[in-house]
């Protein structure tokens, strides 16, 4: 009798359909990558890279099961045109490498705290990184589900071939460690 119950349970479990993913697009006005880097070992400089395009899929609790995003490095904005020009030309070399992309390969955790592994392509170099993130909120607006996310990571820019190292009074003009914070709103297709 117990064997029949176990067998029936296994058959039922095998026939239950997995939860379907919801396909979404990343909302351009509500998505940005903000980076922070140390300037002259003294202060922090913040810059922004706007989204060009992105998609996501998420499960019934909002956990992103597949995502990708492309950011416009040519439009880097630190609120200082001279610095932006130097970033475009000396650091990012945007004539050759105009974009930064991220493609998710694995997700672990819960909506309250997840780790998203993926491939970051920057300056022509692709490396795996891990974003630590969370679902900020989820709402249905005009019949479409919106899920807001925030995630962050820190990279060493030298790992991506960004080795420009201008010095001023024996201090590095822009540090090697770069914190990246991403916020987005994934809107159901």
In the chain, the number of structural domains is: 1
Higher pLDDT, 95 or 167: 95
Please state, in angstroms and rounded to a whole number, the distance separating the CA atoms of residues 131 and 31.
15
Please give the pLDDT value at position 97: 98
3-state secondary structure the chain: CHHHHHHHHHHHHHHCCCCCCEEEEECHHHCEEEEEEEECCCEEEEEEEEEEEEEEEECCCCCEEEEEEEEEHHHCECCCHHHHHHHHHHHCCCCCCCEEEEEEEEEEEECCEEEEEEEEEECCEEEEEEEEEEEEEEEEECCEEEEEEEEEEEEEHHHHCCCCCCEECCEECEEEEEEEEEEEEEEEC
Q: What is the mean pLDDT of the chain?
A: 89
Please state, in angstroms and rounded to a whole number, the distance separating the CA atoms of residues 189 and 53.
14
- Model confidence at 16, pLDDT cuts 50, 70, 90, reads very low
Q: Please give the average per-residue pLDDT across 125-151, as a whole number.
A: 96
Assess if residue 39 is contained within a domain. yes
> Residue 148 pLDDT more than 50?
yes
- Model confidence at 19, pLDDT cuts 50, 70, 90, reads low
Please give the pLDDT value at position 12: 38
> Residue 13 pLDDT more than 80?
no
By residue range, what is the domain housing residue 26?
19-188
- Asked if 154 and 179 count as a contact pair (C-beta separation under 8 A), the reply is yes
- List pLDDT tens digits, range 84-107: 999 999 999 999 999 999 999 999
Look up the CATH number of the domain holding residue 45: 2.40.128.110
Please give the pLDDT value at position 7: 37
Higher pLDDT, 145 or 170: 145
| Strand 144-156 versus strand 125-141 pairing type | antiparallel
Please state, in angstroms and rounded to a whole number, the distance separating the CA atoms of residues 139 and 86.
41
- Model confidence at 130, pLDDT cuts 50, 70, 90, reads very high
Chain centre to alpha carbon of residue 60: 21
Assess if residue 96 is contained within a domain. yes
Assess if residue 13 is contained within a domain. no
Assess if residue 8 is contained within a domain. no
Q: Which of 161, 152, 53, 48 is nearest to 101 (CA)?
A: 53
- Model confidence at 70, pLDDT cuts 50, 70, 90, reads very high
Q: Please give the average per-residue pLDDT across 21-46, as a whole number.
A: 92
Assess if residue 9 is contained within a domain. no
- Asked if 53 and 91 count as a contact pair (C-beta separation under 8 A), the reply is no
Pair of tokens at residue 132: 């630590």
Assess if residue 112 is contained within a domain. yes
Please give the pLDDT value at position 15: 35
Please give the pLDDT value at position 107: 96
Pair of tokens at residue 56: 């996501």
Assess if residue 74 is contained within a domain. yes
Assess if residue 12 is contained within a domain. no
Q: Please give the average per-residue pLDDT across 132-150, as a whole number.
A: 96
């Amino acid at each position: 009798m117990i064997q029949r119950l176990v067998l029936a349970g296994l058959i039922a479990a095998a026939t239950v359909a997995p939860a379907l993913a919801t396909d979404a697009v990343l909302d351009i006005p509500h998505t940005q990558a903000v980076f922070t880097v140390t300037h002259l070992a003294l202060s922090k400089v913040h810059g922004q890279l706007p989204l060009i395009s992105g998609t996501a899929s998420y499960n019934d609790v909002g956990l992103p099961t597949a995502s990708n995003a492309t950011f416009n490095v040519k439009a880097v904005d630190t609120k200082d045109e001279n610095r932006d020009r130097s970033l475009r030309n000396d650091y990012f070399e945007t004539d050759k490498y105009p974009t930064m992309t991220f493609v998710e390969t694995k997700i672990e955790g819960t909506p309250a705290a997840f780790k998203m592994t993926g491939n970051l392509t920057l300056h022509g170099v692709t490396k795996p990184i891990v974003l630590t993130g969370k679902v900020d909120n989820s709402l249905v607006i005009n019949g479409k589900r919106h899920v807001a996310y925030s995630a962050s990571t820190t990279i060493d820019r030298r790992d991506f071939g960004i080795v420009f190292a201008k010095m001023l009074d024996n201090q590095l003009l822009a540090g090697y460690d770069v914190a990246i914070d991403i916020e987005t709103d994934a809107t159901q297709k």
